Amino acid sequence: MRAFIAIDLPDEVREELAIVQRELQPVSNSAKWVAPPLIHLTLKFLGEINEQLVEEVHQNMAGISWKPFPITVKGVGFFPGARSPRIFWAGLIAPNLETLAQRINARMEHLGIENERRRFRPHITLARASKARLESSLVTAATPFEEHDFGTFTVDRCYLYQSETKPSGPIYTQLREYMLS
- Kindly give the confidence (pLDDT) of every residue in the chain, 181 residues in length, as a single tens digit, with 9 standing for 90 and above: 999 999 999 999 999 999 999 999 999 999 999 999 999 999 999 999 999 999 999 999 987 889 999 999 999 999 999 999 999 999 999 988 999 999 999 999 989 998 877 788 999 999 999 888 999 999 999 999 999 999 999 999 999 999 999 888 899 999 999 998 7
Do 18 and 124 meet the contact criterion of CB atoms below 8 Å apart?
Answer: no
**CATH class of the domain comprising 2-179:** alpha beta
* Bond into 80 cis (ω within 30): yes
Radius of gyration of the chain (CA): 16
- pLDDT of amino acid 32: 94
Give alpha helix (H) positions in 63-96: none
Of 80, 77, 105, the C-alpha closest to 91 is 77
Q: Is 58 annotated in the active site?
A: no
In whole angstroms, what is the distance from residue 67 CA to residue 181 CA?
A: 5
Question: Residue 120, class by beta-carbon neighbours within 10 Å (0-12 exposed, 13-18 middle, 19+ buried)?
Answer: middle
Alpha-carbon 9 to chain mean position: 10
- pTM for this entry: 0.93
Catalytically annotated residue among 40, 58, 110, 148: 40
Catalytically annotated residue among 58, 110, 123, 148: 123
- pLDDT of amino acid 118: 79
Do 66 and 180 meet the contact criterion of CB atoms below 8 Å apart?
Answer: yes
Strand partners, 163: 2, 172
- pLDDT of amino acid 54: 94
